[in-house]
A and B are shown apart, each in its own frame.
Chain A
Amino acid sequence: MPRALFEKTGSAVYISHLDLMRLFQRAFKRAGLPLTHTQGFNPRPSVSIALPLSLGVESGCELLDFDLETDGFSFDEIRDRLNAALVAGVRVLSVYDGGRKIKELAYLDCVVTMEYDAGVPHEAAEQMEALFSRENVVVEKKGKNGVTEQNVIPMIRSLTVAEGEGSLELSARVCCQNPTLNPMLLGAAVNKYLPELAPDFMKCRRVEIYDTKETIFR
């Protein structure tokens, strides 16, 4: 099954996971690329996206698996046709075959940007790094079964905080499958444990994905 690596940026970050699937199904149609359909009562075009992205989060490393009814198109042609049929903010970077099994995905790199309108507080970066070197940092996580508590520390492989212009950039490598850490929870931890460092605005970007050996996953 061919796979597309794509990015989701700009206002497209507000397209939900389900809506994005439908968006791709339509884009394939517009691009004249016929998708195969699932069998059964209500045949659906076969596309699937690995690791649902939370609303509002940017990403440069999304994966889409799909299946075409014909193999008359080269991978580059598929990419170009799709890009001509996609909305701004969703862009296919490459299309290839022989992608690895999604279940081998293990980690991802993310950057949480925290903006401080009145300037970054003194020693904020150090305090945050210290916070995430504790053994327990427990935050609330909203899931299907209501709100649960989660200790984020065991799911962080590495974490650094750098100071930028009026903002801090928290870069981390975290678990992304069994268990999964939603990177926005790192921000939530800051808000909870270091309320004086709570930023005025926070946003998040998924940068790269890795397998268990921390080699880039494709």
Chain B
Amino acid sequence: MTERKQRILPTVQKPARYTGGEWGEVKKQKEDVRVRVAFCFPDTYEIGMSNLGMRILYGVMNNMEGVWCERVFAPWGDMEQAMRENALPLWALESQEPVKDFDMIAFTIGYEMAYSNILNMLSLAGVPLHAADRKGLKNMVFAGGVCAFNPEPLADFVDFFSLGEGEDITVEIVSLYDRAKAEGWSKEAFLREAAKIPGVYVPSFYRHEYNEDGTLAAIVPLDGAPEKVTKRIVEDLDSAYFPTNMIVPSTEIVHDRANLEVFRGCIRGCRFCQAGFSCRPVRKKSPEVLCRQAVETMTASGNNEITISSLSTSDYRGLPELMDKLLPYCKENKINLSVPSLRADNFSRELMEKLQTGGRKSSLTFAPEAGTQRLRDVINKNLTEAEILTTCANAFSGGWNSVKLYFMLGLPTETDEDVLGIAELVYKVIQTWKEQAVNKKRGLRVHVATAYFVPKPHTPFQWERQITLQEYLRRCHLLKSHFYSKSIEYDYHAPDLSRLEAVFARGDRRLGPVIEQAVKNGARLDGWDEYFDYGKWQDAFRTCGVDEDFYTVRGYGEDEVLPWDTIDVGVSKKFLRLERKRAYEGKVTPDCRHGCAGCGAERLLEEVSCDA
């Protein structure tokens, strides 16, 4: 008789997401394994399998003797329903065994809107949601990723967080667990030891006290827990583990290609950007190592597409050398090389030409983020109108006829003049096309998108208020009413999701019950239009008596204790304050190549200095 799971598979969409068995997955003999880790990505297979961080840590853990790390993803709605109807608990792909049988359950969390998936996955696994309800060593839940830089909304559910880059710390954590399991420690004893690993944050070792007005009064470390936990980084990326034997999915995923990470950190310092600050200091990989890893990856995977990933690729000093090496290799082996996040400089323009040999011309993309130079100075986005227009002019005369422009609305100090500045800039782009285009018959397409500004922790704007939803929509409509040309296609992000994102990005522990309630209401897969339902969240806020405005439109005081004050990402609070002040003065801070601005991240480095 065919077992239940096999009976379900033919009835759901894209069943290959649930079977495992891809090229490059790691299987081990259970008898040889002492610690089993269920590595959960709180979104679907297609998204999770595209994530480089997950690929790296999967390899890191499976390289450990006696440790077997397997993958788990959030099921799509049809599969979840079938699982619940058939009382089939969530399983890991490699062994197809239930997650609840695993020693450790790890999550990597890249965006706030995955919080409902975390709880839902634990619930599907049949694992108690609350850390306090999981008594022994079994099912130890830990989490990392960018969201761990303000982990408080998840404090009730996650036993401990691993902060920063995971290559080294994950090995230390899992080794400690290995020892704890062999020696039969209690959970308490394990957490106590784990908290001594630099970069491990155990939320239950801290008491959060509140003022009457709802703001935080104090964060009290208990029983000698460290006052601050500093994120971990890898100093030497050249010698760091890199997964050249990646898993090759047998079914389509979002980014089905190999990935080359050229450097970490960012020299730019755009004041709204969490990644830009929290990933500092800057460390690079050498072109030789990258090239070797690219060739190894392509040979081992059989992939025919590779992409460069980093926050701002043009800032990688080794880019010309790397391209000189990679371009001929890719050409010879019919490999598609894509280089996103290029800036509008000459080299990048030439490179774009080279990458476009044959084939369609892709569209030009700019993210000026703000419509006027004044506001771009405020946010420290150093991209000038002249740069945009020159690049456009060159591209249009070279045959391009499509441009994408990304902006934010609701940035600090923004006025209607700034909003209309977007329309003006767009018209100048159209004007440039009229003057420069070689082939006007094909017409021009300008895609404009605006996002609703979300203030993020560990940025100079971490104290800012988010504008109200109504005000955001008013600005969208104002802008829209100034777009007259048929060439313009304008999209604005639905505000509900960004408002929620803002709540959780700067949220505190009182949001735990809200997430739990929302999941009870049926919230899950919030990153998907098919599933996102703001109503379920609003209900949850109401039920729990939590006011969203407190975390969004209120804004945080500079002297207020912030929920994420325990967490040190390297960049100092003093520097963030200074940057905020400069923002309000409209002063730019030149990028790190013009001189170190003293952000503080350098103190994380012991052997080398910041390579900005």
For B16, the closest partner residue in chain A by CB is: A14
Q: List chain B positions with a Cβ less than 8 A from chain A.
A: 1-2, 7, 9-10, 15-16, 19-23, 248, 250-252, 299-304, 334, 358-359
Q: In the complex, A15→B21 CA distance in Å?
A: 11
For A11, the closest partner residue in chain B by CB is: B19
Interface positions of A from 23 to 62, Cβ below 8 Å from B: 23, 25-30, 37, 41-43, 55-56
Contact (A88, B358) CB under 8 Å given A26-B248, A37-B334, A203-B2: no
CB-defined contacts of B334 to chain A, threshold 8 Å: 37, 43
B535 to chain A, nearest CB (A): 34
Contact (A29, B2) CB under 8 Å given A19-B252, A43-B334, A87-B250: no
Inter-subunit contact A26/B9 (CB<8 Å): no
CB-defined contacts of A167 to chain B, threshold 8 Å: 1
Inter-subunit contact B1/A166 (CB<8 Å): yes
CB-defined contacts of A12 to chain B, threshold 8 Å: 21, 250
CB-defined contacts of B251 to chain A, threshold 8 Å: 14-16, 19
Contact (A30, B2) CB under 8 Å given A16-B16, A55-B15: no
Q: List chain A positions with a Cβ less than 8 A from chain B.
A: 10-12, 14-16, 19, 23, 25-30, 37, 41-43, 55-56, 85-89, 115, 117, 166-167, 200-201, 203
Inter-subunit contact A56/B302 (CB<8 Å): no
Inter-subunit contact A25/B302 (CB<8 Å): yes
Inter-subunit contact A26/B303 (CB<8 Å): yes
Q: In the complex, A28→B299 CA distance in Å?
A: 11
Tell me the number of A-to-B contacts counted with CB atoms below 8 Å.
73
Contact (A55, B10) CB under 8 Å given A11-B21, A23-B250, A117-B1: yes
Cross-interface CB contact of A30 among B301, B358, B359, cutoff 8 Å? B301
For A32, the closest partner residue in chain B by CB is: B299
Q: In the complex, A42→B334 CA distance in Å?
A: 10
The 3 closest A-B CB pairs, nearest first, are A26-B302, A29-B302, A11-B19
CB-defined A-B contacts under 8 Å, sample of 7 = A14-B19, A19-B250, A19-B251, A23-B23, A26-B303, A42-B359, A43-B334
20 additional A-B pairs beyond A11-B20, A25-B302, beta carbons within 8 Å, are: A14-B9, A14-B15, A15-B16, A19-B250, A26-B301, A26-B302, A26-B303, A27-B23, A29-B299, A29-B303, A30-B299, A30-B302, A43-B334, A55-B15, A56-B15, A86-B23, A89-B21, A115-B2, A167-B1, A200-B7
B565 to chain A, nearest CB (A): 48
B80 to chain A, nearest CB (A): 18
B153 to chain A, nearest CB (A): 36
Q: In the complex, A191→B31 CA distance in Å?
A: 45
For B21, the closest partner residue in chain A by CB is: A11
CB-defined contacts of B299 to chain A, threshold 8 Å: 29-30
Contact (A87, B23) CB under 8 Å given A28-B302, A29-B304, A43-B334: yes
CB-defined contacts of B302 to chain A, threshold 8 Å: 25-30, 85
Contact (A30, B300) CB under 8 Å given A12-B250, A15-B250, A117-B1: yes
CB-defined contacts of B250 to chain A, threshold 8 Å: 12, 15, 19, 23, 87
